[in-house]
Amino acid sequence: MKTKIVYVLVSSEDDIYLEQAYVSMLSAKHHMPDVHITLLTDSKTSESLTGTRKKESAIADEIIVIELDPSISAQKRSRLLKTNVRNYVQGDFLFIDCDTIIVKPLDEIDEIDVDMAACWDTHVPFKDNPYRSMCLKHGTKLEWPIENETEYFNSGVIFVRDIPATHNFFTRWNKNYQDGTLKRVSMDQPSLAKTNYELGHQIKTLPDCWNCEFKHGLRHFKDAKIIHYLCTSENNGKMPPFLLNEKKILLQVKQHGEITPQIEKLFDDPSKGIAPLTCLISGSDVLFFEDPLIVILRSWYDKGKKAYKIISFLVRKCSLIKSKIRNKIKKLF
């Protein structure tokens, strides 16, 4: 594979972002031992790469350190690097988020005949994106007609050639991102979409296998080259959907500086990371479970909040009353 793989890392001893990157880089080397991996990081993160952390970061063939104000939040430093990565790295590259694993060789990317490409967010046209309402709000804040878009790209995997047009794209993306933070849009995808609109839709569509979002890409799982498991969360005692969403798994990596056999098996068979208890939902059910009200109710349920118990009690009472009324009506007729 001639194309570089690039990761952006902003991390400290207090998180597991380096461990995410370490697992992803190891999975890439597992399938492509000679692939060139570039790790783009900031000066504050670089200073923390000692001991076990130095060993984990050493899997990269090249580490590029950019001076950023250490007082800026880690999230913002990460996105400042990501939105400007084209201007820090030489050569064609495939940018990959840290919360990923590579499960097949990526050599085919060398033959792709486009200047810049990514996969659709959630693997559907923008009109069907379950987060469309949130995206529309972002578009309003960023002052561009996002409602007219047909494609909305996920920024977790992006192929980029080393040409002036892509350098210009990332310069504009970085500016739009910084402007967006002043309007309380902290995510990088809204500014990516705005930049794509402003520059005449330069981003072309990659096949879904290049960025298989675990949460939404089940039908692409078998052919996936990159599994994007979409960040590690605290899970609040719940069983996570995928092994690498479970924080304690990556804490084991952090403690020992080694991946476990359980993780290594995922590199060839990611299905082994799927939770044993699962439930598929589709269509309008996806939209329903992403509704803010349902998200709040679910968090109350997980935390055993009294408010959820009261609502649940009232719903059951109403159902019982409806059932009694229905039975009486049946008796009358």
Tokens, residue 242: 């995928």
Instruction: Round to whole Å and give the CA distance between 317 and 323.
Output: 10
pLDDT of residue 284: 79
Instruction: Please give the pLDDT value at position 327.
Output: 67
Q: Report the pLDDT value the prediction gives residue 279, as an integer from 0 to 100.
A: 78
Q: Encoding tokens for residue 300?
A: 């109350």
CATH assignment of 4-273? 3.90.550.10
- How far, in Å, CA of 261 to CA of 56, rounded? 17
What's the confidence (pLDDT) of residue 236? Answer: 45
User: Does the pTM of the predicted model rise above 0.75?
Assistant: yes
The pLDDT, as a whole number, for residue 256 is: 86
pLDDT for position 233: 47
Q: Which residues pair with 213 in a beta bridge?
A: 228
pLDDT means over runs of 10, the chain (333 residues): 97 96 98 98 97 96 97 97 98 98 97 97 96 96 96 98 98 98 96 98 98 94 96 57 92 92 96 87 78 77 73 72 61 55
Domain coordinates in residue numbering, the chain: 4-273, 291-332
